Chains A and B, each alone.
Chain A
């Protein structure tokens, strides 16, 4: 069992009267990519700000066993905020140098580190350009580079791919996976479901609270309370009656019979076998894949309020 890199316990953040994060608890394990999913205003950014000490909060937050009230803890984190925030009137290189200096990166280490990041971010040619003259994608790459200038153990990325075109999004995620393979723990928030599938585990948030937690499959299963099998047989009503008598939670949905089971792949053969024994040959069978989006919508939809 890997150690927890980040522990959040009973986190509550208020903006005046308004409770933006409500008694939130979760952990990010060493070496994992944890995705935070949730609609706008769910409290994702606020949670991240609490981790970085940018808002006052109630509860406990620890990074690698150390309370975040200690400023030194921040050396372990690379932070990429949701909106662009670098010095527009400094060049690419000057921005990197500034952040390297305030993170206390050794002089001897600095140029090597900057060269490497410039290369990875493909910004070598632009290193003497003022940031305000860069394109959106370049700015985003520079933000990521700046957040990694001090070689942090953990990256906290707040919607790193918001407003980024699809090829660059893919490149970003490839890079995140590479970083993760090199041992970096990553906490990332996103809007995009296809990106969420890249995360080892997910947290679904809504109204400042955690609605679900687990890997993508677990989240989907939990959204329905199980998985779905869709089957069809020559005598639909008869088949339904028999399945119900065996205790299966099933009903006719459109022109198929939908069976809600704990694990669809495991259960499908026995369902087919039962019907075959009752002389009801199965003409159609499918384990229905719920998309993460379906699950997500279910969690953030009204009834869980």
Chain B
């Protein structure tokens, strides 16, 4: 493989895409819009978080705290529980996310060192922090009023619950990789064919491996920017966490990206125009989104849909991403899905090289 030739194709490809302002805008904005829209739709503003109070003190001071809390919109005091263990159970079941325990003798202690226990659902970090901040604020204003001191003790409850956005964010990355990978690669070969440059470069000693390698690298470079955007936004704006290895996640993302680019190149080799290539890719992407378990886990899909889903590579990418991001699993767990993706990637890249070489050698020029 010629490094210099590959590099020349890589540089050229990047310049061409960057100078096509409309394409570039789509490439950069689409993932950002996707994650932001889904993020706001499925993580929601922190408001009316279901909470429970365990008031073992029943004093004027504890009533004051309870009324201060209920006067805000952040927590929704739905229940009163008798014991903390009952409250913790409720959190684990997912009925509530926050429990506030005011221990017996709080009113007496408040003048020197009264304490409030706050139990929060750790899986929903954003909510937990907001609730804790609220209670800290209320306690300290009350402390000032009473010339005393209240300390807030935080207790994290570990649950296996996930928010919708935790479930969807990994799939958004999958969709972005597949959709943009397909579109970029399909249009890149087709553009060259329409402008006649494909014929011209095929008349040079440039080998098709170098051409494909250069295009692969350029498209990968662009989509890696998209992946980072989505990951950063979902982390910093919507508190989506990667519990497993970031490196493993990135490696699987690159693997799936390679497969998608391969598929895009293969599609563009058999489609006559740039538009046709993009349309075919879009169709692929949309079908994949609906049938790959984007919104619902595979297990809750109808049987026929599930059967189809097993033939969609995005399904395996989503499962792998979710396992790594939500459950923190390693390669020991996700290897079957990664295996399927390796197979997919080998298949599509081989197909692309084959089809492109044949396409080129049998002309198909105007």
B203 and A98 within 8 A (CB): no
The answer, yes or no, to whether B145 is at the interface (CB within 8 Å) is no
Q: A72-B205, A74-B204 are in contact. Are A83 and B366 (CB under 8 A)?
A: yes
B204 and A85 within 8 A (CB): no
Q: Which of B14-22, B33-41, B240-248 makes up part of the contact surface? A: B14-22
Q: A85-B200, A103-B205 are in contact. Are A90 and B12 (CB under 8 A)?
A: yes
Chain B interface helix/strand/loop/mixed: helix
The answer, yes or no, to whether B340 is at the interface (CB within 8 Å) is no
- Interface residues in A48-77 by Cβ distance below 8 A to B read 49, 52-56, 71-72, 74-75, 77
Q: How far is the CB of B314 from chain A (nearest CB, A)?
A: 31
In-complex Cβ contact of B12 among A81, A98, A130 (8 A): A98
- Interface residues in A71-125 by Cβ distance below 8 A to B read 71-72, 74-75, 77, 79, 81, 83-90, 94, 97-99, 101-104
A53 and B16 within 8 A (CB): no
B12 and A87 within 8 A (CB): yes
In-complex Cβ contact of A54 among B2, B8, B203, B207 (8 A): B203
B200 and A94 within 8 A (CB): no
Q: How far is the CB of B5 from chain A (nearest CB, A)?
A: 5
Residue in B closest to A99 when the chains form the complex, CB atoms: B204
A85 and B205 within 8 A (CB): no
Interface size class of B (residues with CB under 8 A): 20 to 34
The answer, yes or no, to whether B199 is at the interface (CB within 8 Å) is yes
The answer, yes or no, to whether B237 is at the interface (CB within 8 Å) is no
A56 and B196 within 8 A (CB): no
B363 and A55 within 8 A (CB): yes
Please report the C-alpha to C-alpha distance between residue A156 and residue B195 in the assembled complex, in whole angstroms: 20
Residue in B closest to A77 when the chains form the complex, CB atoms: B203
- Interface residues in B197-243 by Cβ distance below 8 A to A read 197, 199-207, 210
Task: Give the A interface residue count (CB, 8 A).
Answer: 30
Q: A85-B195, A90-B16 are in contact. Are A54 and B363 (CB under 8 A)?
A: yes
Q: Which residues of B contact A72 (CB under 8 A)?
A: 205
In-complex Cβ contact of A104 among B2, B16, B197, B200 (8 A): B2
Q: How far is the CB of A241 from chain B (nearest CB, A)?
A: 59
Q: Which residues of B contact A81 (CB under 8 A)?
A: 196, 199-200, 203
Q: Which residues of B contact A74 (CB under 8 A)?
A: 203-205
Q: A89-B15, A89-B20 are in contact. Are A101 and B203 (CB under 8 A)?
A: no
In-complex Cβ contact of A102 among B195, B201, B362, B365 (8 A): B201
B8 and A98 within 8 A (CB): yes
Residue in B closest to A156 when the chains form the complex, CB atoms: B203
Please report the C-alpha to C-alpha distance between residue A71 and residue B2 in the assembled complex, in whole angstroms: 14
Q: How far is the CB of B13 from chain A (nearest CB, A)?
A: 10
B8 and A79 within 8 A (CB): no
Q: How far is the CB of A17 from chain B (nearest CB, A)?
A: 15
Q: How far is the CB of B208 from chain A (nearest CB, A)?
A: 10
Please report the C-alpha to C-alpha distance between residue A173 and residue B210 in the assembled complex, in whole angstroms: 36
Q: A83-B366, A87-B197 are in contact. Are A53 and B8 (CB under 8 A)?
A: no
The answer, yes or no, to whether B9 is at the interface (CB within 8 Å) is yes
B361 and A56 within 8 A (CB): yes
B203 and A88 within 8 A (CB): no
Residue in A closest to B202 when the chains form the complex, CB atoms: A54
Q: A90-B15, A94-B15 are in contact. Are A54 and B205 (CB under 8 A)?
A: no
B9 and A53 within 8 A (CB): no
- Interface residues in B288-344 by Cβ distance below 8 A to A read none
Q: How far is the CB of A67 from chain B (nearest CB, A)?
A: 15
A101 and B196 within 8 A (CB): no
Please report the C-alpha to C-alpha distance between residue A102 and residue B202 in the assembled complex, in whole angstroms: 10
A54 and B199 within 8 A (CB): yes
Please report the C-alpha to C-alpha distance between residue A107 and residue B9 in the assembled complex, in whole angstroms: 16
A102 and B5 within 8 A (CB): yes
The answer, yes or no, to whether B4 is at the interface (CB within 8 Å) is yes
Residue in B closest to A70 when the chains form the complex, CB atoms: B205
Q: How far is the CB of A289 from chain B (nearest CB, A)?
A: 38
Q: A74-B203, A74-B205, A101-B5 are in contact. Are A49 and B196 (CB under 8 A)?
A: no
Please report the C-alpha to C-alpha distance between residue A103 and residue B5 in the assembled complex, in whole angstroms: 8
Q: A54-B363, A56-B361, A87-B195 are in contact. Are A79 and B12 (CB under 8 A)?
A: no
Q: Which residues of B contact A102 (CB under 8 A)?
A: 5, 8-9, 201, 204-206, 210
Q: How far is the CB of B76 from chain A (nearest CB, A)?
A: 56
Q: Which residues of A contact B197 (CB under 8 A)?
A: 85-87
- Interface residues in B157-216 by Cβ distance below 8 A to A read 195-197, 199-207, 210
Please report the C-alpha to C-alpha distance between residue A74 and residue B5 in the assembled complex, in whole angstroms: 15
Please report the C-alpha to C-alpha distance between residue A77 and residue B200 in the assembled complex, in whole angstroms: 12
- Interface residues in B19-53 by Cβ distance below 8 A to A read 19-20
Interface centre among B2, B20, B206 (most CB of A within 10 A): B206
A49 and B8 within 8 A (CB): no
B361 and A84 within 8 A (CB): no
Q: Which residues of A contact B200 (CB under 8 A)?
A: 79, 81, 85-86
Q: How far is the CB of A2 from chain B (nearest CB, A)?
A: 25
Q: A85-B200, A88-B195, A102-B8 are in contact. Are A56 and B362 (CB under 8 A)?
A: yes
Please report the C-alpha to C-alpha distance between residue A265 and residue B309 in the assembled complex, in whole angstroms: 85
Q: A85-B197, A98-B8 are in contact. Are A104 and B361 (CB under 8 A)?
A: no
B4 and A104 within 8 A (CB): yes
Q: How far is the CB of B337 from chain A (nearest CB, A)?
A: 38
Q: A81-B199, A90-B16, A101-B5 are in contact. Are A71 and B363 (CB under 8 A)?
A: no
B residues with a Cβ closer than 8 A to A are 2, 4-5, 7-9, 11-12, 15-16, 19-20, 195-197, 199-207, 210, 360-363, 365-366
**Considering the complex of A and B, which 3 residue pairs feature the smallest CB-CB distances, nearest first?**
A85-B196, A101-B8, A55-B363
| With A87-B195, A102-B9 already in contact, 12 other A-B pairs whose C-beta atoms are closer than 8 Å | A52-B202, A53-B202, A56-B361, A74-B203, A74-B205, A86-B197, A89-B19, A94-B15, A98-B8, A98-B11, A102-B206, A102-B210
Q: Can you offer 14 A-B residue contacts whose CB atoms are under 8 A?
A: A49-B365, A54-B361, A54-B363, A72-B205, A74-B204, A74-B205, A79-B200, A79-B203, A83-B196, A86-B195, A89-B20, A99-B204, A101-B5, A101-B8
